[in-house]
Amino acid sequence: MMAKLIDEYRAIVQGEKRYAPIADLIGFKLVEVREGVTRFEMPVDERMHNTIGVVQGGAITAVADAAMGNAACTLMPEDKVATTVELKINFVKAIKKGKLTVVGRVVSHGSRIMLAEAEVLDEKNKLVARATSTLMVLDKVKT
């Protein structure tokens, strides 16, 4: 039986393996993984502010994309990946500082196309943004 990518994500949560470099740059961390679900945390402060003094939407979008993509990849065998081909995000609340929790989950899983969603929540569990993503299943590139 072929191993699944979820095992790699479990190793990241346990601190046995390093996550993607983008997480270090933006400051988000994978903290929970189950089949079809991931949870990330990201502290935010003024270093992430845009010109109007709130966290820039691109930073939030990046962690939402990671949560959805990784949730999809938890369902993949080790020779496959799921990659984003379309992403939509709605911002419903501005945030200046604190910690965001982002939960990504797979909504639909076909053999070639998947649909995922993510909720971005503030420290009071209030919705900051909601995202959806269409992902395509591809052969994993050998490095």
- Per residue in 84-141, pLDDT (tens digit) is 999 999 999 999 999 999 999 999 999 999 999 999 999 999 999 999 999 999 998 8
Q: What is the DSSP letter of 142?
A: P
The two tokens of residue 48 are 């992430």
Q: How confident is the model at residue 3 (pLDDT cuts 50, 70, 90)?
A: low
* Three-class HEC string of 37-77: EEEEEEEECHHHECCCCCECHHHHHHHHHHHHHHHHHCCCE
Name the strand (E) or helix (H) holding 9.
Answer: helix 6-13
- The structure's pTM equals 0.93
Span 12-67, pLDDT tens digits: 999 999 999 999 999 999 999 999 999 999 999 999 999 999 999 999 999 999 99
CATH class of the domain at 27-139: alpha beta
* CA 125/CA 72 separation, integer angstroms: 24
The whole-number pLDDT of residue 1 equals 46
The two tokens of residue 100 are 């965001």
Domain ranges of the chain: 27-139
